[in-house]
Structure 1
Amino acid sequence: MSVLSDLRTVAVHRDFRKLFAVRLVSQCGDGMFQAGLATLFFFSPENMATAGAVAGAFAVLLLPFTVVAPFAGPLLDRWRRRQVLLLGNAVRVLLTLAIAAIMVTQGVTVAIYVLALVTLGVNRFLLAALSAGLPRVVPREQLLIANALTPTLGAVSAVAGAGLGFLVGLVSPAGVMKDGLTLTLAAALFGCASALALRLTKDRLGPESAATGRGRSWAEVGRDLRASAADMVDGARYLVARRTPGLCLGVMAIHRFLYGVNFIALILISRNLLNDPANAGAGLATFGLLAGISFAGNGAGILLTPFAHERLRPSQWIVVCLVVGAASQALLAVTPAWAAIAVSAFLLGLSVQGAKIAVDTIVQRDTHDAYRGRAFSLYDMLYNAAFAGAAALAAAVLPDEGWSALVFLALAAVYLALALGYRSATRRVADTPRDVSVPDARAHPDPA
């Protein structure tokens, strides 16, 4: 089934089209914003990229939101998700314009890093809201198609945004105004995404029990946040009791950890091994090309997953993707030659995207709407924690050149162990759609 035919299948639903438009525009602005951050943190001419420096930057960006993320899900299960998309993107407009103003007037300061952290945190919140709202706009039997299309085409939009930002940089005069212009355009896209969210009615994305959000006092907000901690614990227990979504989140956390180590290695290889470390521009170009190859692997994942779904259960496809991930790392362990690195990047991109589509489908399929916000907030928390952990490991085990045969062999072995462990675990449960008409997992225990 082609991408266009899949898109036609789900695009007949008017509210899906509206939600999809919000995702595309929002992620286009996000790509433009993140491209600027990557250049600043990893490929600035004045900074030499070492394993410790790159890992430290990742830890600073991701670790704080490992702590904040648990509170996002309960709020998504209490507040209207349409309002989250509307206000979240509006907040990003203000934050991005503030960053642009500081860069133009003062240069890179501590405030830039703080505001960038907050902006990225809002982005993770928005992505969780988009995922939690998706089952409300497409039929359950079309969730696999929707999950295959929306994250990948959203990523296409992000890449387009990054490319647009790069193009603006090429045609703009050198100086601080160049960075300010790129960020201002990103803010404009965030504003468009916020406006597009207004096309959806307030209650369309759920949850059913959402509060109105009108007239909230600070005391009421505080009570919500305190309740969020208890709700998150309850949500985790629910997902574990449901078994299939709990297993999927665990697998993806480890998958992201392994991917994170590889991603940091790819940055170091691009700048310090394949190019002169002093030539940051060449390193950025190489990394961009390899990232594009990995993105092509993501595209292969979206094309292959619907075909795989006709022959395999989602859990079986996850196992296949993990084995592909193991092959990518084994190949990279053989040689740091350009061809091997490129093929490895492609295979790992396929592995990540294919597994993610299946995981998203299982979590959405087997989780009641009252818990979906928490499920995807936990997803984000595990994602950030895994990357932060990967940064710490990369700093300890990777050389500054980024390539180590022993490290990549170890990653391949862990991928294989994860595939075997997940396959064994899913054999002990019935990997079929669960009844989600009742929110309490105990009402429908999984058969052993």
Structure 2
Amino acid sequence: MAERRVQELRATPFGRLLVAHVVLIAGDTLVTIALAGSLFFSISPHAARGRVALYLALTMAPFAVIAPLLGPLLDRGGARRAMVVVSGLGRAVVCLLMANDLKSLLLFPEAFAVLVLSKGYSIAKSALVPAAVAEDRELVGANSRLALAAIAVGLVASVPGIAVLKLVGARWVLRLAAVVFVGGGLAAFGISSGRATEKTGRGTDPDLRTAGIVLAASAMALLRGSVGFLTFLLAFALRHSHAPSWWFGLVLAASMAGSLIGTASAPRLRRLVPEERILLGALVLVTVVGLFASRAGGRPWAAGMAAAVAIAATAGKLAFDSLVQRDAPDAARGRSFARFETRFQLSWVVGALIPVVVPVPSRLGYLVLAVVALFAAASYVAGRRAVRRAPPAPA
């Protein structure tokens, strides 16, 4: 019965995309395990700040390639499927090189190549989703299923990854990842390369749809910045308070649980309200929990904030992706995702740099998050009202 359901799933355009997605995510998980090192926990808090700041700057580097080069390329016929294939097979080759260069300076440009290929795949995948579903209202559900599958396969793949790491070392984890990436690249040949029929965006004017996407992107950028800010705010706060190691695990578990809740709840919310209201609700959630946490303080509220921000960011991102897939012209969808992902990553880095460069008390940090989210929610509501009231553009 299970085999029959798998065969039925693979017979659909979305099913073929899902198969390639889970295999490639498994490869990413193995690479992360192989390269996990002593960036943060093995050095002093003061030394960690400089090292983390350098790391944050480096995370922006792949987007310097993706936004101007890969974005426009992905809008050419058949290029999106080709990008998925190339990202899988390319990462397989690079993983084999990395396995031989773990103690060499060549590891850094090779890791950069993996990041570029991974981000290129992510953008291509987002641009392919509309062609894999029948209706706009299925977009949030499709994005949610892809995200849930990524979380599940990440947990599953971590088991053999950690086992191989402990038994024979990081080199063999990278070689295992290379095999997995080959499988993902081959599976990508089955992805539909056909373009979806151009959507009309519920009959709205194209200028209004573009303005709606820009407003949503601004709100989502503040949410992504909040994730970066909270991540390092809590990391340094727990370290400076000499919290037991299990508190780090508890906060991480709360964040993972929040991501699961956000991913699972987004499709259900979409049946009740449109994507724009899901994004607004995400901002309101951060505001409310941030205000309570700033008054109460304490480590339990650290876990509560981690869960709330994860719920908001995950549900908000699913809603935003669906909004772009619904309203952005198909001929510009690749470059749209490339541009927005660059903006979101920059927001994450800027948010993360604040507690790295300037020590911020946790309760003050929670209050900052609440105020920023409140400002974003108010601006989003006001902007949407202004867009709806604006006269139509002259023909």
Common topology (TM > 0.5): yes
The alpha carbon displacement at 1:312 in A equals 2.1
Matched, 1:413 2:371: yes
2:190 to 182, 199, 222: 199
State how far apart, in whole Å, the 1-side matches of 2:379 and 2:110 are: 41
State how far apart, in whole Å, the 2-side matches of 1:286 and 1:143 are: 37
Contact 2:231 2:352 (C-alpha < 8 Å) held by counterparts: no
The alignment of Structure 1 onto Structure 2 pairs a total of residues equal to 377
Matched, 1:378 2:376: no
Map of 1:77 onto structure 2: 75
Task: Give SS of 1:53's match.
Answer: helix
State how far apart, in whole Å, the 2-side matches of 1:338 and 1:369 are: 46
Please show how residues 249-328 of structure 1 align to structure 2 within 5 Å.
249-275=217-243, 282=245, 286-328=247-289
Map of 2:201 onto structure 1: none
Map of 1:225 onto structure 2: none
Task: Give SS of 1:42's match.
Answer: coil
Please show how residues 150-165 of structure 1 align to structure 2 within 5 Å.
150-165=146-161
1:182 to 149, 173, 177: 173
Provide the alpha-carbon RMSD of the alignment. Answer: 3.0
Matched, 1:395 2:356: yes
Map of 1:100 onto structure 2: 99
2:60 to 60, 63, 69: 63
Write the deviation string for residues 35-65 of structure 1: whole angstroms up to 9, x where unpaired: 44443422346997633322321222x1212
The alpha carbon displacement at 1:379 in A equals 2.2
The alpha carbon displacement at 1:263 in A equals 1.5
Write the deviation string for residues 383-431 of structure 1: whole angstroms up to 9, x where unpaired: 22122222332322236xxx43223211210011101111121223459
State how far apart, in whole Å, the 2-side matches of 1:125 and 1:248 are: 22
Assess, with a 3 A threshold, how the Cα gap between structure 1 residues 404 and 43 changes in structure 2: closer, same or farther: same
Map of 1:168 onto structure 2: 164
- Long gaps (5+) in structure 1: 1-6, 209-237, 277-281, 432-443
Identity of aligned residues (%): 24
Contact 1:18 1:200 (C-alpha < 8 Å) held by counterparts: yes
Map of 1:246 onto structure 2: 214
Q: Give the residue type in structure 1 aligned to 2:91.
A: R
Contact 2:209 2:328 (C-alpha < 8 Å) held by counterparts: no
The alpha carbon displacement at 1:445 in A equals 6.0
The alpha carbon displacement at 1:315 in A equals 1.1
TM-score calculated relative to the size of structure 1: 0.76
Contact 2:71 2:338 (C-alpha < 8 Å) held by counterparts: yes
Contact 2:92 2:178 (C-alpha < 8 Å) held by counterparts: yes
Write the deviation string for residues 254-312 of structure 1: whole angstroms up to 9, x where unpaired: 21112111112233345453547xxxxx4xx6545432321211121133223322332
State how far apart, in whole Å, the 2-side matches of 1:36 and 1:48 are: 26
The alpha carbon displacement at 1:163 in A equals 4.5
Contact 1:99 1:115 (C-alpha < 8 Å) held by counterparts: yes
The alpha carbon displacement at 1:90 in A equals 0.7
- Long gaps (5+) in structure 2: 198-205
Contact 1:314 1:358 (C-alpha < 8 Å) held by counterparts: yes
Map of 1:136 onto structure 2: 131
Contact 1:25 1:190 (C-alpha < 8 Å) held by counterparts: yes
Matched, 1:359 2:328: no
Task: Give SS of 1:43's match.
Answer: coil
Assess, with a 3 A threshold, how the Cα gap between structure 1 residues 351 and 180 changes in structure 2: closer, same or farther: same
Map of 1:224 onto structure 2: none
The alpha carbon displacement at 1:169 in A equals 3.0
The alpha carbon displacement at 1:25 in A equals 1.0
Task: Give SS of 2:331's match.
Answer: helix
Write the deviation string for residues 300-328 of structure 1: whole angstroms up to 9, x where unpaired: 11332233223322211211111112234
Matched, 1:426 2:387: no
The alpha carbon displacement at 1:195 in A equals 1.2
Between stretches 72-81 and 121-130, larger displacement belongs to 72-81
State how far apart, in whole Å, the 2-side matches of 1:446 and 1:147 are: 32
State how far apart, in whole Å, the 2-side matches of 1:353 and 1:11 are: 25
Q: Give the residue type in structure 1 aligned to 2:164.
A: V
2:107 to 102, 112, 119: 112
